[in-house]
Amino acid sequence: MNPGLSAINQTFFMISDGFIVSTNPDPFSIMALKTLKNVLPRWKKWAVQSRVYFADSAYPLPESNMKFIGEIIQRFNLETSMLRVRIKEKFKKLKIISKMDYALNLKKNDMLYDICSLKANGLLKDYCLAEISEFGALIQKANAASVPVFALTRDQLGATGTVLKNMLASQERFDKEFVRIANVVMELVV
């Protein structure tokens, strides 16, 4: 990795109040979590040590104690029963790595939000904020209309019958997920 680029990434990363990690149910996300569990604490350490050096600069590093908000597992499709079995296995493996390895190391480095109250309120079970499947045909419609999938109107969906019914059900499901994620973020960060 380019040392200059790494310093830029560290700077932007460490001025946040929190971060969300986006994963897919695949081996690459598992490898990424195994890497991030070590890289992120190093970035935090760098930021804490570097605040002194940047204190009198034109762009000082703000005081922040950036923490892991959660992960979003996305970009999967559960159309066939064979695929469901394989994806569920990958989900299980991803969640085990996330909970047992990644999150534990972040906790040791004071990089985890306390989610006990969110668990008690039923907003979260663990640090997995959501499992968001592929948007399917909704993404094409949303791109054409330049709006989020949950903001598409019936006219923009351009469908009828069962297809429209399925699109509306998916749209409502995505909207509920995004609202829940926003509520979790607001609860933790604000």
Average pLDDT, the chain: 83
CA distances to 5, 25, 34, 41 from 38, in Å: 18, 21, 7, 6
Taking only the tens place, the pLDDT of each residue in 86-129 is 667 777 777 777 777 888 899 999 999 999 999 998 888 888 88
Structure confidence at residue 96 (pLDDT):
73
Neighbours of 129 (CB within 10 A): 22
Taking only the tens place, the pLDDT of each residue in 46-59 is 888 888 888 888 87
Structure confidence at residue 78 (pLDDT):
56
Measured CA to CA, the distance from residue 50 to residue 5 in angstroms comes to 16
Taking only the tens place, the pLDDT of each residue in 9-22 is 555 566 778 889 88
111 in Cβ contact with 41 (< 8 Å) = yes
